[in-house]
Amino acid sequence: CFLVADEIQVVTRSGNAPTVYWTGYSDGRYEIGGGPQRHEPGTTVTLLARRGEEAWLSESRVVELARLFGSLLPVTVQVGQTVVTGGPTPWEAGGERIRYCQEVFGFTPYDVIELNVPEAGLRGLAFVLPIPASPAARAGHRVYLKRMLLAEGAEGLLPEWAFFARCVVDATELRPTASREALYEDSLLEQTREALGAQLRGWLVNLARQSPGRVAEFLAIHHLGVKALALHDDDMLRLVAEWWPMETNMGRLTLSDFRQRYQVIRYCSTLDEFRQLAAVAAAQQLAVVNGGYTYDTDLIERMPALDLDYLVDRLDPSDLTTRFHFLDSAEEKAMQPFASAAQRALDRLGCEVMLRAFEPVTLPALYLVDRDATFQRHLRETREMADEAWAGVLAAFESSAQTRPQLVVNHRNPLIRRIATLSDAKTIELAVEGLYGQALLLGHHPLRPADTALLNRSFLGLLDRAVTGEN
């Protein structure tokens, strides 16, 4: 009250007791005394508006605030001639739930879920958002305590994974903070949060059983929240496996459908790795799931613990080479000069050249680096940037056996065969460098400064030869 008034007067009488007058001031002073007797028991509070704050005490503003904070009170509240209470609460029979959500939260809900936690004396509704919500966005809920509004944007009422819902609730046992702007974090609030999460989870399970089409729509909107819950909830994991289509190199498939078609769930753990291998793996009839999106790898790896029939295998890039065809002895002999020249060109980059025959025939070369080689490369780069003390510590983790990245050259590609017949060693070197750079770019691999310089040199060198030949 002292935000808008410098002086507050209270006149109160209880039963047949004498009337008490209390006056408080914004500087902390107060006075208590007697005065004329009130005609009947009761209390009158008078706020004397501070200069410039008169608008806050106008009748229209008081009606607005009284309706906002006290409209659900079970007693009649009247401002002047205006009654600001009455009518059912949103969660009671007869409450207009959809219209309430539209007016208060500003959206038409995908669904409405009834909430009830007897331990906290809580009743209310959860409105499911019809559009995707960011997990990082503030999920504000409208909270009443004993039918008086506590906060319009209270946080911490639902578990973090339930960011797809907005709630309106009333509780009789939960406690407010000292400022009465939020809920006090205690064991009862924690139990209430868990109970509300269980009720939202139960709604999802029932939705999957009773309305498969709607659960598919819901997952398309709010899959992140469900996948976060599925990390530690078996029923939610089953729901995700059955209904959420993941990206694969054979099209979008649920884990359940993928297992039925291909038996083993092979997956890439990063988006870049999937982009590097998807097309080539598909050409070898090898189905691969993209586990690079949020939570997907963790969910895939959790499947065998849920169902032993699920077999999962993380695809290592080097595994693909076992599916490529070796050249016969005549082909290998004919390609030997080219292979030697290519290896000399890429030795300084720490890359091993391999000759294989594989699909698709349109792909001239494929750059592959297994997880161990990637780890060792990151380790070396970090050691080079670290100080002497840390460099010594990191050196202990370096492997003595150097696993090098591989440039797998496709013998079936017509361009490769033509390059192999060239007689000019410099042109072959530039061509191999160009193939190396293109393979890095197609595979979305990070480019080191040496790679960028090589790509630039090969492009300009080949361009120079093309212009010189034309002249």
Q: Residue 183: which of 162, 157, 164, 204 has the closest Cα? A: 157
Q: What is the pLDDT of residues 411-428, one digit of tens each?
A: 999 999 999 999 999 999
- Give the residue from 184, 208, 232 where a domain finishes: 208
- Residues 245 and 362 both lie in one domain: no
Q: What's the rounded Cα separation, in Å, for the pair 12 and 18? A: 9
> For position 26, which CATH number holds?
3.30.565.10
pLDDT digits (tens, 9 = 90+) for 428-442: 999 999 999 999 998
Any idea what the CATH number is for the domain that residue 258 is in?
Answer: 3.40.50.11260
In a domain, 22, yes or no: yes
Based on the fold, state whether residues 303 and 355 are members of the same structural domain. no
471 pLDDT more than 60: no
User: At 126, which CATH number?
Assistant: 3.30.230.80
The amino acid at 238: R
Q: Considering its fold, how many domains does the chain have in total?
A: 4
* Same domain for 304 and 223: yes
Identify whether residues 117 and 69 lie together within a single domain.
no
Q: Which of 161, 179, 208 is the last residue of a domain?
A: 208
End-to-end CA distance of the chain: 90
CATH at 444? 1.20.120.790
DSSP for residue 307 = -
The residue among 263, 209, 259, 198 whose CA lies nearest residue 233 is 198
In angstroms, rounded to a whole number, what is the distance separating the alpha carbons of residues 196 and 353?
59
Q: Which of 54, 83, 112 is the last residue of a domain?
A: 83
Q: Can you give the three-state secondary structure of 155-213, one letter per residue?
A: CCCCCCCCCCEEEEEEECCCCECCCCCCECCCHHHHHHHHHHHHHHHHHHHHHHHHCHH
158 and 137 in one domain? yes
Q: Does residue 216 share a domain with residue 189?
A: no
* Residue 355 belongs to a domain: yes
User: Comparing C-alpha atoms, which of 257, 466, 235, 433 is closest to residue 346?
Assistant: 433
- Burial (CB count within 10 angstroms: exposed 0-12, middle 13-18, buried 19+), residue 270: middle
pTM above 0.75, yes or no: no
Cα separation, 243 vs 212, whole angstroms: 8
Quick one: pLDDT band at residue 175, thresholds 50, 70, 90?
Answer: very high
Amino acid identity, position 312: V
pLDDT of the residue at 328: 93
393 falls within a domain: no
35 and 156 fall within a common domain: no
CA-based torsion, 124, 129, 132, 138: positive or negative: negative
Q: Which of 84-93, 343-352, 426-435 has the least mean pLDDT? A: 84-93
**Residue 360 located in a structural domain:** yes
Do residues 338 and 441 both lie within one domain? yes
Domain ranges, residue 353: 324-369+405-470
Same domain as 109, residue 50: no
What pLDDT, on a 0 to 100 scale, did the predictor assign at position 401? 45
Residue 89 lies in a domain: no
In Å, how far are 194, 325, 366, 413, 415 from 321, measured between CA atoms? Answer: 49, 8, 10, 16, 21
Shared domain for 451 and 314, answered yes or no, is: no
Residues 314 and 421 in one domain: no
Q: Is residue 353 part of a domain?
A: yes
Same domain, yes or no: 255 and 232: yes
In-domain check, residue 131 = yes
429 falls within a domain: yes
Q: Which of 69-78, 112-121, 247-256, 360-369 has the lowest mean pLDDT?
A: 69-78
Residue type, 343: Q
Average pLDDT, rounded, for the chain: 87
